[in-house]
Structure 1
Amino acid sequence: MSISSSGFSWPLRVYYEDTDVSGVVYHANYLKFFERARTEWLRSLGYSQESLRHEVEVAFTVSRVEVAFRSPARLDDQLIATVAVTELKRASLVMTQQLRLGDIDGRLLAEAEVKVVSVDAASFKPCALPDGFRNRVQTVENAASRNPSSSAA
């Protein structure tokens, strides 16, 4: 199933620990920012990584990431990370993510396409997304695509 929506957004700030010697965000830290946004997106749906793992015995693992770096983030920058589900399959989700400056400019800093696979928490073998989770994603993402101003922040 393909889903198009305005997605979910989460605010972040760049700390000293995120930067390299030149004062810009080290490239690997963009993956951390994207991960934090996906985790908060999951929480916004009423789930946590731990509850899925312990109660439903499902975990998510990233199977593919493609990142395009557009402009550097710098120390103390306020950022906005977004998550939008673009594809929902039996055992996986594909999401597009953006990292933008959180000011009026909203300059695009990086964008990624991330494929996340549902796996059995014990064996780490692919398994179907839980029905309740799948239904919640479809409901929320479809509502967001009908009403772009409904994105969580």
Structure 2
Amino acid sequence: MLSPSHNFPIRVYYEDTDAGGIVYYANYLKFFERGRTEWLRELGIHQAFFLEQNLGFVVRKVEMDNLASAKLDDLLEVTSTIATLKRASLVFQQEIKNQSQQLLARASVTIACVDFNKHKPCAIPQSILGAFESAS
């Protein structure tokens, strides 16, 4: 593990659920995305920085296990950890738990840094690598 874990609370809204009040499985991917994005924001890495440089972090691969259901109005916690940091990619290990600490979903998410002009992977900017390293 390269960096400490980051925790981000998420409340389940009506828009997140199916007709039975259960979180629709694909919405866990949104929750994981929010957890990663908010961690980067806390490290001083904002989406606008990437856009200004025609760069972006894109999801290359996701492996997700849905283990239990969250329900309307549940308060959840997304925990994110950087498992692997390479020159042009990183792997996040993420979990979502409810207030009883029951594990609801877990995922391994591989993110690649992409040059939007060339549509190809590129090196993660040094300023971002430095932010990750200072968080360790």
TM-score category by the smaller chain? over 0.9
Segments of 5+ residues of structure 2 without an aligned counterpart are: none
What does residue 147 of structure 1 align with? none
Residues 57 and 113 of structure 2 are in contact (CA less than 8 Å); yes or no, is this contact kept in structure 1?
yes
CA distance in 1, matches of 2:49, 2:107: 26
Distance 2:123 2:116 in 1: 12
Aligned length: 136
Higher helix share: 1
Q: Percent identity?
A: 45
Q: Name which of 114, 118, 121 aligns with 2:113.
A: 118
Question: Which of 42, 49, 52 lines up with 1:51 in the alignment?
Answer: 49
> 1:151 maps to what in 2?
none
Q: Which residue of the other structure, out of 77, 82, 92, is the alignment partner of 1:80?
A: 77
The residue that corresponds to 2:91 in the other structure is 94
Alpha-carbon separation, structure 1, partners of 2:4 and 2:49: 26
- Report the 3-state secondary structure (helix = DSSP H, G, I; strand = E; otherwise coil) of the residue aligned with 2:121: coil
Check the 8 A contact 2:64/2:107 in 1, yes or no.
Answer: yes
Partner Cα separation in structure 1 for residue 22 and residue 118 of structure 2: 39
Question: 1:136 aligns to what SS in structure 2?
Answer: helix
Unaligned runs of 5+ in 1: 143-153
Aligned structure 1 segments of 4 or more residues deviating by more than 4 angstroms = none
Given the alignment of the two structures, is residue 131 of structure 1 paired with residue 126 of structure 2, yes or no? yes
What amino acid is the match of 1:87? T
CA distance in structure 2 between the partners assigned to 1:16 and 1:57 by the alignment: 35
Q: Find the aligned partners of 2:61 and 2:9 in 1 and give their Cα distance.
A: 24
**Larger relative strand fraction:** 2
